[in-house]
Amino acid sequence: MSRVRVVVTGVGCISPLGNNVDTTWQGILAGKSGVGLITHFDPTLFKTRFAAEVKGFDAESHLGRRDARRMDRFTQFAVVAVGEALSDSGLEIDDGNRGRAGVILGTGIGGIGTLLKGAEALAERGPRWVSPFLIPMMLPDTGAGQVAIHFGLRGPNMAVVTACATGANAIGEASEMIRRGAAVTYIPVTLPDMRVDDSELDPYLDLARSGGAPEDSG
């Protein structure tokens, strides 16, 4: 029995080197590093003060203000990168293929920024101030669901969370599901980058300032 061949037809990318494939690839060829001092929150109390952050990403310009506000940052990355990948592939999603076009998303943790905001609101202001969007924004498989909604994909849909192996597992599982005939097109998405804002870390920084941090944390 011959093995079904699976090919990659399009790619999209948001990375510390650039917010599209071309910019990222040119940065790689030039030997650039995406690592720099942390800018998304005050790292003063941490021993490590550098990270590979995504820079200059404006979700509202891609998704509109309403949709961007209802997505965690990891989901924003997923939807925008998939848009680039679909454009690159030349694949048109229509009624003839959307039922067999699926999404497998890999993420290390999901909507950590949204979770921290919800925890802060609950602790400081009470349950009535917790956003009703907390759960649907923070779940790891929300990214896959939002990609499917945004592009009209009605095939199998799931998220993979397997720590550092997540990206490889998402791509591998998408390939195997195509071979099994579960879908003819899969969009694997891998999201290793998670970022939180300064305000989301405030309760934990306050704990550190009060002496709750490990010795020599500065």
Asked whether residue 84 is domain-assigned, the answer is yes
Domain total of the chain: 1
Asked whether residue 183 is domain-assigned, the answer is yes
Asked whether residue 140 is domain-assigned, the answer is yes
Asked whether residue 72 is domain-assigned, the answer is yes
Question: For 146-152, which contacts have Cβ atoms below 8 Å and span 24 or more sequence positions?
Answer: 146/71, 146/75, 146/78, 146/79, 147/78, 147/79, 147/82, 147/103, 147/105, 147/187, 147/189, 148/102, 148/103, 150/79, 150/82, 150/83, 151/82, 151/83, 151/86, 151/93, 152/93, 152/98
Distance of CA 188 to the CA centre of its chain: 12
pLDDT tens, residue by residue, 96-128: 999 989 999 999 889 999 999 999 999 999 999
pTM score of the predicted model: 0.83
pLDDT tens, residue by residue, 38-72: 998 899 999 999 999 999 999 999 999 999 999 99
CATH of the domain at 104: 3.40.47.10
Q: Which residues form the domain of 164? A: 64-210
Asked whether residue 20 is domain-assigned, the answer is no
Asked whether residue 93 is domain-assigned, the answer is yes
